[in-house]
């Protein structure tokens, strides 16, 4: 495959997109961003923004002319990335990175969790198209966004609430920071052959809830409150709530995937693509400094 030079980023204005755009621009790629016709967000500077209708293959195909790669960082609220894939194929795009960026949805247990249903559907579709030689793809398996997650309750509640510590709190989970995800995307696009039609795994750090709690207690000079919890129970409860139409339960399926046993959240270093895509693990001191920003 010839070198990738022009990249379109869909969903460039959300939690993740700006970090990807920043690293792509810094690495010298020509970056175009796609944005909804009625988007209220300002497009990232240094890029050309094209308004699109994500349900229209014709609108998307016109926007993707001349692009070598598409990186989708679209919101989980987007019902369907299939028109974007079809448009990429119609426009002759060589590499498609769907909006994965999280837990290992190739893990059979994770794939069954309702929160990942659309992601599985999308990567199955891409695999089928790649088999027919229509496009190539890479799935970015980053684990939780480490920095972003420290500002939520997914790891520890550093805002002062009571943290639910799952299954004893010592299970490891591979996580990647937003800047490192941007670097990993650059690394993939610079190594198209080595990353073709497969998942790429990264981690900035492997953490446990107890390790983050211990660091947070140390750097904040106080003891964060905790209570024991079970990932089996949290999943059971989430299924019940979804049956009743409570979609806020989706967040709890993430807790099951991040901290439950058998969901592929912890990667052995031998499984990681850090070296290939240019992601360096944080030192203990860097991890402490990162946690201190949120504690």
Residue (39 or 217) nearer to ligand NAP, CB: 39
Contact of 124 with 98, CB cutoff 8 Å = no
Alpha-helical segments (H) within 74-141: 82-90, 108-111, 117-131
Q: Are 150 and 294 in contact (CB under 8 A)?
A: yes
Whole-number Å distance between alpha carbons of 150 and 156: 7
Query: Minimum distance between the CB of residue 139 and ligand NAP, rounded to whole angstroms?
Result: 11
How far, in Å, CA of 21 to CA of 44, rounded?
A: 8
Q: Quick count: other Cβ atoms within 10 Å of Cβ 282?
A: 18
Q: Least distance from C-beta 175 to ligand NAP, angstroms? A: 8
What span, in angstroms and rounded, lies between the C-alpha atoms of 29 and 267? 30
Cβ closest to ligand NAP, residue 15 vs residue 283: 15
Between 101 and 201, whose beta carbon lies closer to ligand NAP? Answer: 101
Closest CB to ligand NAP: residue number: 14
How many angstroms separate the CA atoms of 81 and 42, rounded?
Answer: 22
Q: How far is the CB of 15 from ligand NAP (least distance, A)?
A: 3
Name the site residues for ligand NAP (rule: CB under 6 A): 11, 13-17, 35-36, 39, 41, 54, 73-78, 99, 101-102, 142, 144-145, 148-149
The residue among 109 and 217 lying less far from ligand NAP, judged by its C-beta, is 109
Q: How far is the CB of 105 from ligand NAP (least distance, A)?
A: 10
Residue closer to ligand NAP by CB (options 102, 182) is: 102
Q: Which three-class secondary structure state does DSSP give residue 116? A: helix
- Between residues 3 and 77, which has the closer beta carbon with respect to ligand NAP? 77
List all residues 6 or more positions away from 243 whose beta carbon is below 8 Å from its beta carbon: none
What SS3 state is found at 54? coil
Q: How far is the CB of 222 from ligand NAP (least distance, A)?
A: 26
- CA–CA separation, 57 and 75 (whole Å): 18
DSSP symbol at 291: H
Cβ neighbours of 294 (radius 10 Å): 19
Rounded Cα distance, 142 and 100, in Å:
8
Residue 184 CB, shortest distance to ligand NAP, in Å, is 13
Write the burial class of residue 207 (CB in 10 Å: 0-12 exposed, 13-18 middle, 19+ buried).
buried
What's the min distance (Å) between Cβ of 221 and ligand NAP?
28
If you search the block for the tokens 């209220």, which residue do you land on?
40
Nearer to ligand NAP, 61 or 132 (CB): 61
Least Å from the CB of residue 129 to ligand NAP? 19
Minimum CB distance to ligand NAP smaller for 8 or for 144: 144
């Amino acid at each position: 495959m010839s070198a990738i030079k022009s990249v379109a980023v869909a969903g460039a204005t959300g939690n993740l997109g700006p970090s990807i755009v920043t690293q792509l621009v810094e690495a010298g790629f020509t970056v175009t961003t796609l944005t909804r016709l009625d988007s209220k967000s300002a497009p990232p500077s240094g890029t050309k923004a094209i308004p699109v209708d994500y349900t229209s293959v014709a609108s998307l195909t016109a926007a993707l002319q001349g692009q070598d790669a598409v990186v989708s960082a679209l919101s989980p609220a987007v019902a369907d990335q299939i028109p974007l894939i079809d448009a990429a194929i119609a426009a002759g795009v060589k590499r498609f990175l769907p909006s994965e960026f999280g837990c290992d949805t190739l893990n059979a247990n994770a794939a069954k969790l309702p929160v990942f249903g659309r992601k599985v559907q999308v990567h199955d579709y891409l695999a089928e198209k790649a088999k027919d030689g229509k496009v190539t793809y890479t799935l970015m398996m980053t684990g939780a966004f480490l920095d972003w997650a420290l500002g939520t309750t997914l790891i520890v509640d550093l805002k002062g609430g009571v943290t639910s510590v799952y299954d004893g709190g010592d299970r490891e989970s591979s996580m990647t920071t937003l800047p490192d995800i941007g670097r990993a995307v650059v690394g993939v696009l610079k190594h198209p052959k080595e990353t073709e039609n497969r998942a790429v795994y990264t981690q900035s750090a492997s953490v446990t809830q107890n390790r983050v709690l211990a660091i947070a207690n140390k750097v904040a000079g106080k003891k964060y409150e905790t209570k024991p919890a079970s990932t089996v129970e949290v999943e059971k409860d989430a299924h019940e709530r979804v049956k009743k139409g409570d979609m806020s339960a989706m967040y709890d399926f993430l807790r099951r995937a991040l901290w439950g046993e058998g969901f592929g959240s912890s990667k052995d270093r031998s499984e990681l693509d850090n070296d290939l895509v240019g992601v360096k693990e944080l030192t203990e001191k860097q991890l402490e400094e990162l946690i201190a920003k949120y504690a």
